Amino acid sequence: MPEGPEIRRAADRLNQAVQGRPLEHVYLPFPALRRYGTRLKRATIQAFTPHGKALLTHFDNGLTLYSHNQLYGLWENTRIGAPYLKGRQLRLELGTAGQVVRLYSATDVKFWKTDSLKHHPFLVKLGPDILDPDLSTTRISERCLEPRFRNQTLGALLLNQTFLAGLGNYLRTEILFVAELNPEWRPLQLSVDQRFNLADAALTLSRQSYDTGGITLNIGQAERLKRSGATFEDHRFWIFDRSGLPCYRCATPIAVRAVGGRRLYYCASCQPKPQI
């Protein structure tokens, strides 16, 4: 599932393609959207704005499209008349002069009145966007100690979108490793320094992933691996998807187990369990 950095990069591409230009082509094959076709003709897309893993498409006619890619959704921007992607179901196609954006395979797609978004059942529950430029380590540290979060294991907390919106499986793994925290720790067990390290890793790695297209490994080390012939997937991460391979810090084999129904990788040496 795409995480916050991937959704924000998609929003950047979509904005570059069609933002601020009147729509000249509207195709809505998804039955739940069809009735909005006439309202979108000649409308202008004001902006694509992400919140966590959701994407909001704001139009100048008072409508906003809410979409969540979930596992299979994908936004594409391409030229008008380009072939459709194979193996995916087209949900919508919006075109300006020369450019078209398409949404495929997403199941959670719905138009809302823009001024009613404050009542959206998913958006109202979301925590701050991990890529919000105003989000600080202090604010994240303080949220850790709120009653609803302080007794959750870190392995569960970092997938909880009401805590921080936009974190997912690979960011959870990488944040805990960089902060040197085992997923079994709970915020109330952490020292002030440990909470700061967790908050700093969450901000730093999420922003780095956005800036680099998905790399959370130390940039210098990633570049060295790349020069040695490593593929993109092989020089992206500290430990995610590296089960059985040596930790870059201590050479201990990376372990993996299920936490919250998702794969979570960890180094038993760098991330010791809390002492009960």
List residues with catalytic annotation. Answer: 2-3, 53, 262
Strands across the sheet containing 45-51: 45-51, 54-59, 63-68, 108-113
Residue linked to tokens 């729509």: 23
Q: How far is CA 124 from CA 5, 8, 161, in A?
A: 21, 19, 11
Cα Rg, the chain, nearest whole Å: 21
Which DSSP string corresponds to 226-271?
Answer: HHTT--TGGGS-SSTT-TTSBPTTT-PBPEEEEETTEEEEE-TTTS
The answer to whether the beta carbons of residues 264 and 155 sit under 8 Å apart is yes
Q: 8: burial class by Cβ within 10 Å (0-12, 13-18, 19+)?
A: buried
